[in-house]
């Protein structure tokens, strides 16, 4: 359908039809199947049956047969024949579940991320989905917050690169194409920094911090073509994001040029009254419309107020029509007017869902995402070793992670099965040790486990946090392993065993209490459908770990938030003892494990940093942030060598520091990275082009610019171990972004 036809269709719509196009409800509500115990605002909103069948989109269940029937029933009742949009939270997999996004960030592999997102899109599309609420581009620094599992970590650049890759994987060149879906980036903005790590809490930060750290990843997703944006529950500068004209009008539409659909989070328009920025539903609707909120999710403010607001002159017809046109244009972009069923296909579901190709991809992804944190000659496990396995994650398929959609833990391979498939009778498992149920552990079985594993050469403690303690509404103040899990690790070590601790979690945990008693620590995260096999591949030496931390690990919860790219202070902590500096009395400032850190079964060296400056007015080059091309400032290169006896991959990381600027700048900022694979004894050059864009920031006038002066160029294998050189970039090679 062309633009002229869309405009004609919009002109023919009644105000009621427009208000309902701007409303999203559960498909169960259309069939009157909403559960009796439904909570929240939907208890108070009552839609007439005729109104329900005019809503523009639904949130919830998938399945080709179900959604084809729903679309058919809807169109039969629709006078205008405007197809429904089907949306859902497919976060890291539909049926075949990939590693959680926080683990995906640890791959530093946008190409693999894009490939995985494309597989997720295929499964979702054949099951009838049109839009997924992913990626979550929220930058995170506080692991007390349960939703860190949905982010790619604490760094704005890495977060943006991975968000953009995810968008490309979902949408391809055109979301209308077979096997593609539209991407909705969320939660705009700064949802990942709630005070105290407490879900739905206030977010309070300066405009500079917002622009330096929290906005770039959303912008990268928009520049990659994301079709939709979901707002966040929180406030930004004392205004809820749901009705923030600064975010939705100035930043999103004016600065970034976004012309797609904006949707609220669940009941967030009505919750403006709880925020005390709206006295009633009329004011909540008015403020949301003025901000440019196109779709209200799971509440009825728009349906109940738009007519009154228009009659009272509090909103304009143009504001409503702009919202409706964006919704119609998205449906048209997906090809729904020509084929309202798009890719929904029961036979294709049978062929694609949980297929071998997708499971193998999930295994590759999981292998790359796992991070070896410690290894004192314990891994890989010797081929002849007798292996003991204990802990709550030894024999469970509950390793998919939160938001695992239609993933089935009961058919997910366990770590026990994955190891026994290779090791056979060399395996001994303490089958029922310390499963975590409810709010506390079942009675201790540590002594029984130690006795059962007494003849083993090496013991694997499969530990972590329960899946239900991660994700939305899962904030925690204690990040330690449960007492019985810590006791298990201590007891195995006390029995004289080599102990390999494998951690399944959705966040960085406080593992300092078990670090000393662990000869090796593998952070497996929640690795998805093929995660057990991936972990076994690493433990047994079939795969050399290459993951690098996308989020710092704290020494204890008192350090939180702890992150690498902090602003310096007037009294920075120094190497010498001095009380009057920014430090703790009882703990180092540094994290237990820093951003970008990860071990390998081989030894990599990164040395010989060379920096060559480009002549003034250097040539323009491609910009990895997605901005218009910008000029090269210098090239930085290092020699990377594999000095060990195994082939392996490492991640070479480029960091920059603005030594002196008009405003305080971060001590270190990741600007680029390269994954490099080397055979034993092999070496290669890792080269980076440093551009004006990498030196730029939003200054006090909120202009994107760079300033002449000194810059430190740093290259290394994590943020703390780098070679550095200082360069001076004079005026005349650029300036304000053109």
Task: Give me the active site residues, please.
Answer: 265
CA-CA distance, 552 to 560, in Å (whole number)? 10
d(CA 553, CA 154) in angstroms, rounded, equals 11
Measured CA to CA, the distance from residue 648 to residue 322 in angstroms comes to: 53
Give me the DSSP letters along 557-583.
GGG-S--SSPBP-SS---SS--SSSS-
> Do residues 670 and 596 make contact, with C-beta atoms less than 8 angstroms apart?
yes
Q: Which of 291, 319, 87 is nearest to 186 (CA)?
A: 87
Q: Which residue is associated with the tokens 């994987």? A: 169
Distances (CA, A) of 288 to 279, 305, 326, 327, 621: 13, 12, 15, 16, 40
| DSSP element (H, E) containing 464 | strand 458-464
433, two tokens: 């040790």
Helix (H) or strand (E) run with residue 362 in it: helix 356-369
Q: How many alpha carbons fall within 13 Å on the CB side of residue 210?
A: 18
Within 8 A by CB and 6+ apart from 5, the residues are none
Torsions phi, psi of 663, nearest 5?
Answer: -135, 160
State how far the Cα of 519 lies from the Cα of 516, in Å rounded to an integer. 8
Can you tell me the distance from the alpha carbon of 217 to that of 503, in angstroms, rounded to the nearest whole number?
A: 28
Non-local (6+) Cβ contacts of 343 within 8 A are 125, 126, 128, 178, 179
CB 10 within 8 A of CB 4: no
Q: Are strands 228-231 and 261-263 parallel, antiparallel or unpaired?
A: parallel
CA distance 78 to 83: 9
Reading phi first (left if > 0) and then psi (alpha if -120 to 50, else beta), residue 261 is in beta
Distance of CA 71 to the CA centre of its chain: 31
Note whether 99 and 528 are within 8 A (CB): yes
Q: Where are the beta strands (DSSP E) in 592-665?
A: 604-613, 620-621, 630-642, 648-658
């Amino acid at each position: 359908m062309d633009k002229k036809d869309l405009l004609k269709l919009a002109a023919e719509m009644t105000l009621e039809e427009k208000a309902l196009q701007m409303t999203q409800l559960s498909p169960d509500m259309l069939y009157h199947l909403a559960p009796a115990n439904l909570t929240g605002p939907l208890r108070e909103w009552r839609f007439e049956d005729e109104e329900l069948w005019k809503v523009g989109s639904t949130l919830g269940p998938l399945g080709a047969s179900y959604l084809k029937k729903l679309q058919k029933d809807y169109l039969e009742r629709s006078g205008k024949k405007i197809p429904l949009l089907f949306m859902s939270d497919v976060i890291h997999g539909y049926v075949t579940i990939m590693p959680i996004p926080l683990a995906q960030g640890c791959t530093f592999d946008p190409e693999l991320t894009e490939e995985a997102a494309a597989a997720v899109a295929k499964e979702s599309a054949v099951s009838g989905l049109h839009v997924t609420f992913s990626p979550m581009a929220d930058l995170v620094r506080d692991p007390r917050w349960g939703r860190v599992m949905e982010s790619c970590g604490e760094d704005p650049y890495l977060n943006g690169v991975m968000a953009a890759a995810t968008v490309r994987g979902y949408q391809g060149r055109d979301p209308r194409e077979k096997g593609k879906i539209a991407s909705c980036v969320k939660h705009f903005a700064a949802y990942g920094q709630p005070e105290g790590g407490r879900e739905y809490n206030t977010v309070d930060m300066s405009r500079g911090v917002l622009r330096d750290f929290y906005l770039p990843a959303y912008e990268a997703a928009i520049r990659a073509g994301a079709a939709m944006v979901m707002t966040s529950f929180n406030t930004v500068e004392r205004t809820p994001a749901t009705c923030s004209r600064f975010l939705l009008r100035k930043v999103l539409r004016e600065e970034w040029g976004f012309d797609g659909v904006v949707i609220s989070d669940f009941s967030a328009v009505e919750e403006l009254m709880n925020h005390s920025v709206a006295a009633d539903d009329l004011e909540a609707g008015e403020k949301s419309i003025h901000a440019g909120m196109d779709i209200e999710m799971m509440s009825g403010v728009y349906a109940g107020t738009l007519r009154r607001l228009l009659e009272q002159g509090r909103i304009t017809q143009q504001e409503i029509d702009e919202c409706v046109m964006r919704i119609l244009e998205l449906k048209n972009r997906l090809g729904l007017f020509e084929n309202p069923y798009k890719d929904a296909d029961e036979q294709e579901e049978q062929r694609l869902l949980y297929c071998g190709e997708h499971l193998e991809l999930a295994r590759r992804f999981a292998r790359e995402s796992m991070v070896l944190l410690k290894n004192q000659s314990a891994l890989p496990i010797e081929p002849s070793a007798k292996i003991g396995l204990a802990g709550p994650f030894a024999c469970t398929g509950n390793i998919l992670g939160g938001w695992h959609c239609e993933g089935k833990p009961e058919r997910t391979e366990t770590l026990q099965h994955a190891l026994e498939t290779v090791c056979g009778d060399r395996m001994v498992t303490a089958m029922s040790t310390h499963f975590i149920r409810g709010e506390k552990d079942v009675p201790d079985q540590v002594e029984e486990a130690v006795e059962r594993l007494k003849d083993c050469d090496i013991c694997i403690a499969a530990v972590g946090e329960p899946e239900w303690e991660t994700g939305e509404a899962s904030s925690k103040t204690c990040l330690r392993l449960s007492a019985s899990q810590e006791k298990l690790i201590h007891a195995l070590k006390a029995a004289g065993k080599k102990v390999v601790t494998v951690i399944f979690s959705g966040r960085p945990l406080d593992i300092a209490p078990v670090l000393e008693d662990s000869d090796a620590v593998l952070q497996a995260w929640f690795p998805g459908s093929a995660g057990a096999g991936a972990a076994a591949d690493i433990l047994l030496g079939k795969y050399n770990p290459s993951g690098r931390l996308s989020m710092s690990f704290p020494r204890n919860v008192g350090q939180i938030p702890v992150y690498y790219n902090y602003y310096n202070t007037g009294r920075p902590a120094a190497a010498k003892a001095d009380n009057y500096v920014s430090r703790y009395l009882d703990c180092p400032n540094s994290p237990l494990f820093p951003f970008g850190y990860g071990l390998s079964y081989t030894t990599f060296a990164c040395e010989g940093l060379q920096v060559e400056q480009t002549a003034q007015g250097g040539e323009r080059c491609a910009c990895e942030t997605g901005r218009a091309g910008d000029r090269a400032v210098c090239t930085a290169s290092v020699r990377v060598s594999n000095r060990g006896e195994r082939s392996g991959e490492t991640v070479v990381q480029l960091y920059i520091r603005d030594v002196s600027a008009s405003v305080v700048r971060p001590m270190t900022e990741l600007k680029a990275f390269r994954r490099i694979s080397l055979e034993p004894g092999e070496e290669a050059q890792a080269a980076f082009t440093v551009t004006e864009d990498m030196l730029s920031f939003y200054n006090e006038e909120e202009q994107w610019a760079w300033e002449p002066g000194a810059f430190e160029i740093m290259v290394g294998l994590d943020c703390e171990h780098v070679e550095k050189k200082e360069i001076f970039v004079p005026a005349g090679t650029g300036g304000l972004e053109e």
